[in-house]
C-alpha cells in the first residue's frame, strides 16, 4: 500500500497536502470539510500585528507612518473593527478548531516589528495551536532603509517569537531576498523549525475611471509553482529546517514535484477557491495514482530525490539550465 505520510514541523501528517491560510478557516464547518476532503493540516488565517495593537490603543504609530508624504494613506487601511476577527476571538477560534478536527491546526501571526503584540504567540500556544506560522509581510519604501537592517528586524522578530513559545515555529518568506540561502540559514539559527516558500504579495491595480488605487487578487496557477520549486530544491539538505512549498499547487503532479524537490509539506488555497474544498481529495488521489504507476512506495522515498543537494555548484547548474532554456528558444526562431 502506498504510504503518503510525511512529517512537517515535527507533526505527523497523513499526506503532504496542507491548506494554507485563507478565508476558509474562518468557519469551523469549512475546517471540518477540509479534513474530510483529505487535507492533512490547516493553516489558520492570520492574526495581524495591527489588530492586536489596535486593541491596545497603539495603532496610531502604524497608521500615521508615511502620512506626511501621502495624505490619503489612511484611506487604504481597512476598518479594523470589521476586518477579520479580533485577537480574543481569534484565540477562541483556534481552540474551537482544535476541538473540531483531528488534523493539526497551525495558527498564523502576521507582523513586522518586535513589540508587545508578540506576547500573543504565547497565548496562541495556550489556545492549543499545533504550531505557529509567522508571516513576514512588509513593503519597504524608505530609500534609507537597507536590506541588512530589514533582515535584522525580521530575525529579531523571529527570535522574540521563538522565546515566547515551545510549539514548532515556521516562517513564511518572500522571494525578494538577495541571498535566500543565507537568510534561510539565519532564520533557522534564530529558532525557526520550518520555512514556507513563498509569501505571495497581492499587487494593487489602478482604476483609470475613478483614479484610485484598488486591491487586486489573482489566484495562482500551476505555472506559479516553478519559483518556489527551484528554491525548495536548492535549500533541501543545506538548511536544517523543514520546507513547505506554497503557490501553484493545483494537481497531483504539482504535489509530486514539490515532494521530489524536498518539500515536507505542500500547501494550497487557490485550487480550493477555484474548485471547491473537495478538490483536495482529487489532488491526493492523482498523486497516489502517479506513485503507484511509477512504483514509489512512499512519499519519503521521493522527498528530495530531485533536489540540488548532490550538486557541488548549484549556481553553475542554474546558469547551465538558463543557457539551455535560451537555446531552446533560439531553436524555435525562424531561419
Q: Which residues pair with 132 in a beta bridge?
A: 107, 169
CA torsion through residues 171, 174, 175, 181, sign: negative
Q: How far is CA 51 from CA 26, 85, 87, 129, 137, in A?
A: 16, 8, 7, 19, 14
Residue for cell digits 515535527?
A: 10
Low-confidence ranges of the chain (pLDDT < 50): 57-59, 61-77, 80
The pLDDT score that the predictor gives to residue 327 is: 77
pLDDT score for 330:
67
For the chain, domains (ranges, CATH) are 6-307 (3.20.20.70)
Tell me the C-alpha distance between 3 and 38, whole Å: 14
pLDDT confidence of residue 226:
95
The pLDDT score that the predictor gives to residue 314 is: 66
The model carries a pTM of 0.88
Partners of 109 in beta bridges: 47, 134
pLDDT (0 to 100) of residue 72: 38
Q: Among 256, 202, 247, 249, which residue's Cα sits nearest to residue 227?
A: 247
Angle between helical axes of 119-126 and 147-164 (0-180°, round to 10): 40
Instruction: Count CB neighbours of 89 within 10 A.
Output: 12
* Residues belonging to the chain: 335
Amino acid at each position: 500500500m502506498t504510504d503518503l505520510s510525511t512529517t512537517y514541523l515535527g507533526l505527523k501528517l497523513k499526506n503532504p497536502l496542507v491548506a494554507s491560510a485563507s478565508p476558509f478557516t474562518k468557519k469551523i464547518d469549512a475546517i471540518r470539510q477540509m479534513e474530510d476532503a483529505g487535507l492533512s493540516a490547516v493553516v489558520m488565517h492570520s492574526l495581524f500585528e495591527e489588530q492586536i495593537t489596535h486593541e491596545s490603543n497603539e495603532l496610531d504609530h502604524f497608521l500615521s507612518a508615511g502620512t506626511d508624504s501621502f495624505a490619503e494613506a489612511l484611506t487604504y487601511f481597512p476598518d479594523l473593527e470589521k476586518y477579520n476577527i479580533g485577537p480574543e476571538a481569534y484565540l477562541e477560534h483556534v481552540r474551537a478548531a482544535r476541538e473540531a478536527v483531528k488534523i493539526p491546526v497551525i495558527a498564523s501571526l502576521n507582523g513586522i516589528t518586535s513589540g508587545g503584540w508578540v506576547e500573543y504567540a504565547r497565548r496562541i500556544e495556550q489556545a492549543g495551536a499545533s504550531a505557529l506560522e509567522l508571516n513576514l509581510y512588509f513593503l519597504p519604501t524608505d530609500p534609507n532603509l537597507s536590506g541588512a537592517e530589514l533582515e535584522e528586524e525580521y530575525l529579531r522578530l523571529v527570535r522574540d517569537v521563538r522565546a515566547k513559545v515551545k510549539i514548532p515555529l515556521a516562517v513564511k518568506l518572500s522571494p525578494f531576498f538577495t541571498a535566500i540561502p543565507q537568510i534561510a540559514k539565519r532564520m533557522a539559527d534564530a529558532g525557526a523549525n520550518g520555512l514556507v516558500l513563498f509569501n505571495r504579495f497581492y499587487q494593487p491595480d489602478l482604476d483609470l475611471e475613478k483614479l484610485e488605487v484598488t486591491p487586486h487578487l489573482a489566484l495562482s496557477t500551476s505555472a506559479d509553482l516553478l519559483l518556489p520549486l527551484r528554491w525548495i530544491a536548492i535549500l533541501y539538505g543545506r538548511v536544517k529546517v523543514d520546507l513547505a512549498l506554497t503557490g501553484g499547487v493545483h494537481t497531483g503532479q504539482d504535489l509530486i514535484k514539490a515532494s521530489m524537490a524536498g518539500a515536507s509539506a505542500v500547501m494550497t488555497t487557490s485550487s480550493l477557491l477555484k474548485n471547491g474544498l473537495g478538490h483536495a481529495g482529487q489532488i491526493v488521489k492523482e498523486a497516489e495514482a502517479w506513485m503507484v504507476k511509477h512504483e514509489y512506495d512512499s512519499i519519503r522515498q521521493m522527498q528530495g530525490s530531485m533536489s540540488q543537494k548532490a550538486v557541488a555548484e548549484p549556481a553553475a547548474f542554474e546558469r547551465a539550465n538558463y543557457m539551455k532554456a535560451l537555446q531552446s528558444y533560439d531553436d524555435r526562431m525562424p531561419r
